[in-house]
C-alpha cells in the first residue's frame, strides 16, 4: 500500500494520500488548496490516478483543495451526508464503505467538533479529522459544535476501536505524526474525565481565540474551495 502523510505548515493540517500500489487509483483526505500543485507532482511521481477526495468536515482554518483537484483530475468529491456543501458529489452515511480498488474505507459519523464531522477507518488506520487529536480533541465552540456530541463520538465510537488502531488526525501543532487509540486513552489529557458533564465543562472553559480567517475559510469550503 502507498500511504503518505503530508503537512501544511501554515494551518498545521495533515493531508493523507492513499493507494494500493504504484500505477493504481488514489484517494486524498483533507487536501489544502495551496498545496494542490504538490499533490499533482506526487501523484505523477507515483504514477497514480486520483479518483476520490474526502473532506472530513468543513474546515475553519484552511481552504480545501477538493474543488481544484476535481477540476484537474476529474476525481469525485466525498463528504459525510450532513455536510452543508451542496456541490459534494458523494455524500456518505454512517457505516457506509468507500471503495478504492481493493481498499475499503468505513465512514463513521463523529459529530461534536462540527455537526458534519466524519472520521474514516481503513483497516487499522483511523483518520479522525478534528474529532480526536493527539493529546487533544477538536474544539466545539463554532460551526454547530457540541461537546456532548463530541464526548459521544469519542468515547462511544472512536475509543471503542481496538487499542492498536493507528490514529491519524487532521492537525497537529507539536510535530506529533501518529498515535494509537490505546495511547490516547491513557495519555490524552482531555480523555481523563469520568463523565459527559465533566467533559462538557472542560470544553466550555477552554477560552480559545477564534481562528484567523474562519469566516472566509468556511464560506470558501462550503463551495469546496471553488
Ligand atoms: Fe476543524
How remote is the CA of residue 23 from the centroid of ligand 1, in Å? 32
**Which residue matches cell numbers 486524498?**
28
Q: Among residues 40, 1, 33, which one has the least CA distance to residue 18?
A: 1
How remote is the CA of residue 47 from the centroid of ligand 1, in Å? 31
How remote is the CA of residue 73 from the centroid of ligand 1, in Å? 25
Instruction: Please report the pLDDT score of residue 36 as a whole number.
Output: 98
d(C-alpha 39, C-alpha 164), whole Å: 29
How remote is the CA of residue 104 from the centroid of ligand 1, in Å? 24
Q: Is residue 226 in a domain? A: no
In the chain, the number of structural domains is 1
Q: Which three cell numbers stand for residue 176?
A: 506529533
pLDDT in tens, 23-82: 999 999 999 999 999 999 999 999 999 999 999 999 999 999 999 999 999 999 999 999
Q: Is residue 31 in a domain? A: yes
- Please report, for residues 6, 24, 55, 161, the alpha-carbon distance to residue 180 in angstroms, rounded to integers and kept in the order given: 19, 28, 22, 10
Q: Is residue 201 in a domain? A: yes
How remote is the CA of residue 58 from the centroid of ligand 1, in Å? 7
How remote is the CA of residue 189 from the centroid of ligand 1, in Å? 19
Q: Is residue 202 in a domain? A: yes
Query: What predicted TM-score, i.e. pTM, was given to this entire model?
Result: 0.97
Q: Is residue 51 in a domain? A: yes
d(C-alpha 153, C-alpha 16), whole Å: 22
CATH number of the domain residue 44 falls in: 3.60.15.10
Q: Which three cell numbers stand for residue 182?
A: 490505546
Instruction: Please report the pLDDT score of residue 141 as a whole number.
Output: 95
Q: Is residue 222 in a domain? A: no
The low-confidence residues of the chain, meaning pLDDT below 70, are none
Residues of the domain holding 74: 2-210
How remote is the CA of residue 163 from the centroid of ligand 1, in Å? 24
Q: Is residue 92 in a domain? A: yes
Q: Is residue 225 in a domain? A: no
Q: Among residues 117, 17, 110, 128, which one has the least CA distance to residue 58?
A: 117
Amino acid at each position: 500500500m502507498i500511504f503518505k502523510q503530508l503537512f501544511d505548515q501554515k494551518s498545521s493540517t495533515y493531508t493523507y494520500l492513499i493507494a494500493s500500489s504504484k500505477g493504481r487509483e488514489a484517494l486524498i483526505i483533507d487536501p489544502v488548496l495551496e498545496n494542490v500543485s504538490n499533490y499533482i507532482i506526487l501523484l505523477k511521481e507515483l504514477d497514480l490516478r486520483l479518483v476520490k477526495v474526502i473532506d472530513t468536515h468543513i474546515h475553519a482554518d484552511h481552504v480545501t483543495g477538493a474543488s481544484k483537484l476535481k477540476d484537474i483530475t476529474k476525481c469525485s468529491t466525498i463528504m459525510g451526508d450532513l455536510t452543508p456543501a451542496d456541490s459534494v458529489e458523494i455524500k456518505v452515511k454512517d457505516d457506509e464503505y468507500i471503495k478504492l480498488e481493493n481498499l475499503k474505507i468505513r465512514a463513521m459519523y463523529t459529530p461534536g467538533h462540527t455537526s458534519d464531522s466524519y472520521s474514516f477507518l481503513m483497516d487499522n488506520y483511523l483518520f479522525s479529522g478534528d474529532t480526536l487529536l493527539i493529546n487533544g480533541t477538536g474544539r466545539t465552540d463554532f460551526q454547530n459544535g457540541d461537546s456532548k456530541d463530541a464526548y459521544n463520538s469519542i468515547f462511544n465510537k472512536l475509543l471503542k476501536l481496538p487499542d492498536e488502531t493507528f490514529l491519524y488526525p487532521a492537525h497537529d501543532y507539536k510535530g506529533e505524526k501518529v498515535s494509537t487509540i490505546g495511547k490516547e486513552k491513557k495519555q490524552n489529557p482531555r480523555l481523563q474525565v469520568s463523565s459527559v458533564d465533566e467533559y462538557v465543562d472542560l470544553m466550555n472553559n477552554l477560552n480559545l481565540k477564534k481562528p484567523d480567517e474562519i469566516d472566509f475559510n468556511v464560506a470558501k469550503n462550503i463551495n469546496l474551495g471553488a
